[in-house]
Amino acid sequence: MKILVTGGTGLVGYGFQNVASNYDHDFTFLSSKACDLLDYSSTLSWVESQNPDVVIHLAANVGGLFKNMTKKVSMFQDNIEMNNNILKACAACGVKRFVGMLSTCIFPDKTTYPISEDMVHDGPPHSSNDSYAYAKRMLDVQCKAYRDQYGLEYNCIIPTNIYGENDNYNLEDSHVIPGLIHKAYISAKNNIPFVVYGTGKPLRQFIYANDLALGILETLWYSESNIIISPTEEHSIGSIANRIAEAFDIVDLLEFDDTKSDGQFKKTADNSKFKELIETKSKSKSFNFTSIDSGINITVKYFKDHIDTVRT
C-alpha cells in the first residue's frame, strides 16, 4: 500500500519515519519545500504524481498557547487553505482513504469530561485558540462531506498534546514541552531562573509522536469517523516542568509566573474507542504508550545532541 504523509518532515512525520520499517507499506514523506499546500495547482500535481492509496495529512500551521493568541488570522487562513487544497486534490485523484489531524483544542471550552469524538461541535472552543480550533473543526466537517457525497473513506484523528524529538523548539511559538525544554537549556547554560508561564496547574494528556504514528497506522482502516488517540493519564504543566528541570539539573531554578495566562484548565479526552479498535481489530492486539518520563528524557537528549540544528 502506498501512503503519502504531508508534513512528513515535522514532529509527527518524524515519528512516522521512525516506525515505518514496522510496516510493509511504501511511504512518501512530503515536506513544504517539495510542495506548497497553500497552492492548489502544486498540491494537485504532487498528489497526481504520487498516486497514493492513502493520504495522512499532518501538515498545518501550528503553535502553542501564545502563538494561538497572537496570530489568529494566519492560524485560521493557512489551515483552511491547506485542508481545502489537499482534500480537493485527493478527491480529484481518486484517493480512497484520507486521515486528517485534529487537536483536542477543537472541543468546547464549557463541556463535560471526558470529552469524546461526538462532542466536537457542542459549543465554542476556548477563546485562546479559537481561530486554530475552528479551522480544524472545518476539516472534520469537510471529511464528513466527502464521505456523504462521494462515499470516500475520509476521517480524522484527534491526538492530545504531541511531543517528541523533531519538534519546533521556538521559545514563543512552540508547544509546551519543546518550549520548556529550550527555556530549561538556557536556564542551565546561564544559571538563571527557569520561568514557566502560568500557575503550572492546568492538566494535559501528552502523547509521544512515535506512539501517535503507530496508533494511526494500527487503526488506519477500521473507522469511518474520528478517533481520539491518547494515553489515559493526565499531567499538570507544573509536573512536566519539574521533570524537564530534573533532566537539566536545575530544579532549584524553577519558577512560575502566575501573571501569564494558563489557557484552558483541562481537556480530558476519552480514548475508549481507540482502545476498543486496538483490542478487536488491530493485528498487534495491544498498544503500550511510552511513559512520560521516558519520552521527556528521549526528547531532552535529542535537543541536547542537536542543539545547533533543532528547529526554533
pLDDT tens track, the chain, 312 positions: 999 999 999 999 999 999 999 999 999 999 888 899 999 999 999 999 999 999 999 999 887 777 878 889 999 999 999 999 999 999 999 999 999 999 988 999 889 999 999 999 999 998 888 999 999 999 999 999 999 999 999 999 999 999 999 999 988 878 899 999 999 999 999 999 999 999 999 999 999 999 999 999 999 988 778 999 999 999 999 999 999 999 999 999 999 999 998 878 888 999 999 999 998 888 776 789 999 999 999 999 999 999 999 888
Structural domains in the chain (count): 1
Q: Provide the grid cell at 245.
A: 528541570
Helix (H) or strand (E) holding 205: none
Is the Cα torsion angle 102, 104, 110, 116 positive or negative in sign? positive
Residue 91 is assigned to a structural domain of this protein: yes
Question: Do the domain assignments include residue 201?
Answer: no
Q: What's the domain range around 146?
A: 2-168+206-232+268-289
* Residue 107, domain member (yes or no): yes
What does the radius of gyration of the chain's CA atoms come to, in whole angstroms? 19
| Residue 257 maps to a domain | no
> Does 211 reside within a domain?
yes
Please indicate, yes or no, if residue 240 is contained in any of the structural domains.
Answer: no
pTM: 0.93
- Give the whole-angstrom CA distance, residue 287 versus residue 229: 11
Return the active site residues.
132
CATH of the domain at 118: 3.40.50.720
